[in-house]
Amino acid sequence: MKKIVLIVLDGLGDRPNKILHGRTALQAAYRPNLNHLASLGINGVMHPIKPGIRSGSDTSHLSLLGYDPEEVYTGRGPFEALGLGLEVLPGDIAFRANFGTVDSGGIVMDRRADRISQGTDLLASSLNMNIDGYIFRVKEGVEHRAALVIHGPGLSSAVTDSDPHEVGKKVETVKGVDEAGKRTAELVNRFLEKARNILRNHPVNTERIKNGLKPANEVLLRGAGKAPDLIPFEKKYGMKGACIAGIPMITGLCNMLGMDIIKVKGATGRTDTNYEGKVSALINALKTHDFVILNFKGTDVAGHDGDPILKKSVIERVDRAIAPLKNQLENTAIAITGDHSTPCEMKDHSGDHLPILFVTSGNLRDRVKRFDEISCMEGGLEINSTNVMDYLLQISDRSDKYGA
């Protein structure tokens, strides 16, 4: 049996861009190592979840690991919170959060507060509070990101977001989707009102305004959920798994699955991450683990920023970093793909397909020589993300026979 590697370039897929003369960032990038691996393997297109679905990183990563989100997904909040080190107990609810900027009328001016990266620990700690016996805990994440966990009896995740998800719109009042969610929504709205008063006069924001920066004066909440009951990865597959990622949502998900989280110095979850260090850690992890998932977030960051030149640069840095993997094919099955598309023109996720390659020694090959959204359409596969683990198991000689 062979070891397994799954490399995910977050938000990899794109659409033709005028700045890149009608090419995607992947097509425009200098990517000799990705092309070399594609030429040695079998390629195709992968639909996140299923064709046309605009998936999130949480649901797509669940499906890439072989867990059907339609059966187990309850919301992204618990993954984000766990990844940041917050405890999520049975009955707790958790939200993803952004530190954003709103005007005096509650209109969102910037959902990321200039991508604030300093002082968020002070902002987060100032928002820890108790309301009628319910405990609210906030923890900062990468740049503007954070998470909120609420602990107390009778909580429900059936509540709406406060984040309107668009600049120029007013912060939403959280509502209960059903009767069970109404009490929780009331508590959340009380928390948000208290949080606004605290952030309005916080020293971090006073200093930011003085320096001409946008204040982080609003906590935008989304993705409420309770911790799902997931079969541990090792029990499901009989493999010891590890995760290398710079963003809490991915490490939180993998931690929930019982996988080992490997920390890499300089792994930021941004475009300036330690690309070579992450690949080196992956190769080292294969000595002690059967399966390693490696996430590069920078492609998604560039897509959301609408910056095709930056996205192209991130892909080229990934390509240089993965060069050592060409020497691992004898004993390792490798898959490389994205979790969803984040076209720079959209600055958001789309429902487009993604290129995917599978490669190991002795596997079937197709005629694809380039790894990109269009070239891989000529490959031998068209699959959904929930099929990825099945294919990796069979090319690593780990799959069970179906039937007699």
Min mean pLDDT across 43-57, 220-234, 327-341 is at 220-234
The DSSP symbol for 174 reads P
Q: What is the pLDDT of residue 222?
A: 93
- What integer is the mean pLDDT of 65-91? 87
Q: What are the tens digits of pLDDT across the range 359-398?
A: 999 999 999 999 999 999 999 999 999 999 999 999 999 9
pLDDT band at 2 (very low <50, low <70, confident <90, very high): very high
Angle, vertex CA 397, rays to CA 396 and CA 402, nearest 5: 120
Angle, vertex CA 217, rays to CA 216 and CA 220, nearest 5: 85
Q: What is the pLDDT of residue 294?
A: 98
The C-alpha atoms of residue 293 and residue 51 are separated, in whole angstroms, by 23
Give the tokens for residue 289: 């683990």
Q: Residue with structure tokens 């949480």?
A: 58
pTM across the whole model: 0.81
Gyration radius of the chain over CA positions: 21
Domains parsed from the chain with CATH numbers: 3-73+231-395 (3.40.720.10), 80-225 (no CATH)
- What integer is the mean pLDDT of 144-166? 94
Q: What are the tens digits of pLDDT across the range 124-143?
A: 999 999 999 999 999 998 88
